């Protein structure tokens, strides 16, 4: 086992990886941009090194600077987390050439599965069912192929991920503009404007299988995750197991996921994603060659620390588990807490966190990258934390999540917490009858503004400003008291009471 690990990431996932390293007895190295100089992952690591200005292209995506830090710090391994360079084959290859262990699959596997069309082709050759679709073709050929596939169709970027370069097209008239927009977005996001079409599976659910594979040819799956609660192809709530998957289907999907991993020589942690139709048929969607945001729900039901297993596999150790040893228990749900305003079309919200009260208690887990006084930047992904709960049953997990969301307090910025509360109370979610179009169908534009919202935002802004300026805070309190008026903080407390 190596002794020092560099975490080439930031925020809550960097903190998560640091904790796993500490529990393995490993030293940790953080990297940070100007915007993250006071970030939580910087505080938690044994060492921290500056790598550039706030834009990711000048810091967290600079392979040369990260490898320079690895050399200067003596780090023997690099964990990429997710996002940024996690699925960049050039980064994995550069680590290998520099003599640093990349905690993930080989570069050639990342490259093979990163091209969605090439991945589909590999899966077909391995006898794995894939969603009907096309190769990468010129627009004229794609328009003709869409008629053969039948509408609706999904336009997708060949090098895509994270919902970039994707467009749902319901009729022929929408296709030309969707192709143009998808190519433009794919070029900007990935430097590759190749696109293709996939047939839309109606009322499908998004089910993924977590796998672990070592360098000795051993592969196991850790069961499925339900990831159908999505907004604009971005997952917001995940759970394990899925209410739509029984034991027989779970076994079949797990076997196919392992078959897919063997077909590409997969090593380390990965996820095979499927679309599941109403009749129990499932189709390969893509393979994520990295740790997933939603990995904690699998950890909660299996008791297996996936990040620790990644580190062990990267050091050359054999898997400690056989397939028969994997026995999921109970139910876990995860809510992605983002700095977005669900009452205003999910617009990003940046600013200083002036109040933070995280939920606790039995079966509650919070993975966070913020603290009171932390400045949430607009430079990076809006996800600031993950709230995960476990219960013996799905019903208990939902009730526990409701309780935990009520306890969660983040002041100074807008967050997605009210949105998650709405979903936990929604009949379709409770009964488990949702699919990937649930949010667009029911809450496409977010939450309707509340009558008291404008006043609450005004008072919160006043409070945040006064916390930052102590003299101003005291002066306004004295002014209100002299004139017999209620202070802004008492107003805020009253509004909070009304909200409850």
CA distances from residue 166 to 87, 149, 176 in whole angstroms, order as listed: 19, 17, 13
Residue 175 has φ and ψ, to the nearest 5°, of: -65, -50
- Which tokens in the block code for residue 46? 């044994």
- 182 contacts 158 by C-beta, under 8 angstroms: no
C-alpha–C-alpha distance, residues 235 and 280, integer Å: 22
290 is catalytic: yes
Query: Is the bond into 175 cis (omega within 30 degrees of 0)?
Result: no
Selected catalytic residue, list 62, 290, 336, 365: 290
- Which tokens in the block code for residue 105? 């699959």
- 46 contacts 6 by C-beta, under 8 angstroms: no
CA distances from residue 80 to 110, 189, 390 in whole angstroms, order as listed: 13, 19, 27
- Which tokens in the block code for residue 73? 């710090």
What residues contact residue 488 under an 8 Å CB cut-off, 6+ apart? 459, 462, 463, 466, 476, 480
What residues contact residue 397 under an 8 Å CB cut-off, 6+ apart? 239, 330, 331, 332, 333, 363, 389, 390, 391
Q: Would the CA dihedral through 428, 429, 430, 433 be positive or negative?
A: positive
- Which tokens in the block code for residue 171? 């009729």
C-alpha–C-alpha distance, residues 360 and 353, integer Å: 19
Task: Give 278's DSSP letter.
Answer: T
- 13 contacts 82 by C-beta, under 8 angstroms: yes
CA distances from residue 150 to 172, 199, 221, 436 in whole angstroms, order as listed: 10, 7, 34, 19
Residues with a known catalytic role: 290
């Amino acid at each position: 086992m190596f002794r020092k690990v560099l975490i080439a990431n930031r925020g809550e996932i960097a903190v998560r990886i640091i904790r796993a390293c500490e529990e393995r007895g490993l030293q940790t190295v953080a990297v940070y941009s100007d915007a993250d100089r006071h970030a939580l992952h910087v505080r938690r690591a044994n060492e921290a090194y500056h790598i550039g200005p706030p834009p990711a292209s000048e810091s967290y995506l600079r392979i040369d600077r990260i490898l320079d830090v690895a050399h200067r710090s003596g780090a023997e391994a690099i964990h990429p987390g997710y996002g940024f360079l996690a699925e960049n084959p050039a980064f994995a290859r550069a680590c290998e050439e520099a003599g640093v262990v990349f905690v993930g699959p080989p570069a050639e596997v990342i490259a093979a599965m990163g091209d969605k069309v090439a991945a589909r082709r590999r899966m077909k050759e391995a006898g794995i069912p894939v969603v009907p679709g096309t190769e990468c073709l010129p627009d004229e050929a794609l328009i003709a192929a869409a008629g053969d596939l039948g509408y609706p169709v999904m336009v997708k970027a060949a090098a895509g991920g994270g919902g970039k370069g994707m467009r749902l097209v319901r009729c022929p008239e929408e296709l030309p503009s969707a192709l143009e927009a998808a190519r433009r977005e794919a070029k900007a996001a990935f430097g590759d404007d190749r696109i293709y079409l996939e047939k839309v599976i109606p009322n499908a659910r998004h089910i993924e299988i977590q796998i672990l594979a070592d360098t000795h040819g051993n592969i196991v799956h850790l069961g499925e995750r339900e990831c159908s609660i999505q907004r604009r192809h971005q997952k917001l709530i995940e759970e394990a197991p899925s209410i739509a998957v029984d034991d027989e289907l779970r076994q079949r999907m797990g076997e196919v996921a392992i078959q897919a991993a063997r077909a590409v020589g997969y090593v380390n942690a990965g996820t095979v994603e499927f679309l599941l139709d109403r009749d129990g048929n499932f189709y390969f969607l893509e393979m994520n060659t990295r740790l997933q945001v939603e990995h904690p729900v699998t950890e909660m039901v299996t008791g297996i620390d996936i990040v620790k297993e990644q580190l062990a596999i990267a050091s050359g150790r054999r898997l400690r588990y056989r397939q028969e040893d994997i026995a999921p228990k109970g139910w876990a749900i995860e809510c992605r807490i983002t700095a977005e305003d669900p009452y205003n079309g999910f617009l990003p919200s940046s600013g200083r966190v002036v109040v933070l009260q995280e939920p606790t208690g039995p079966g509650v887990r919070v993975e966070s990258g913020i603290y009171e006084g932390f400045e949430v930047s607009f430079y990076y992904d809006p996800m600031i934390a993950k709230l995960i709960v476990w219960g013996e049953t799905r019903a208990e997990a939902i009730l526990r999540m409701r309780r935990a969301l009520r306890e969660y307090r983040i002041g100074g910025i807008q967050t997605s917490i009210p949105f998650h509360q709405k979903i936990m109370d929604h009949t379709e979610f409770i009964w488990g009858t949702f699919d990937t179009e649930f949010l667009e169908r029911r809450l496409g534009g977010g939450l309707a503004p509340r009558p008291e919202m404008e006043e609450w935002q005004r008072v919160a802004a006043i409070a945040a400003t006064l916390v930052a300026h102590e003299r101003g805070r005291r002066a306004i309190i004295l002014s209100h008291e002299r004139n017999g008026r209620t202070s802004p903080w008492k107003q805020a407390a009253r509004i909070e009471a009304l909200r409850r």
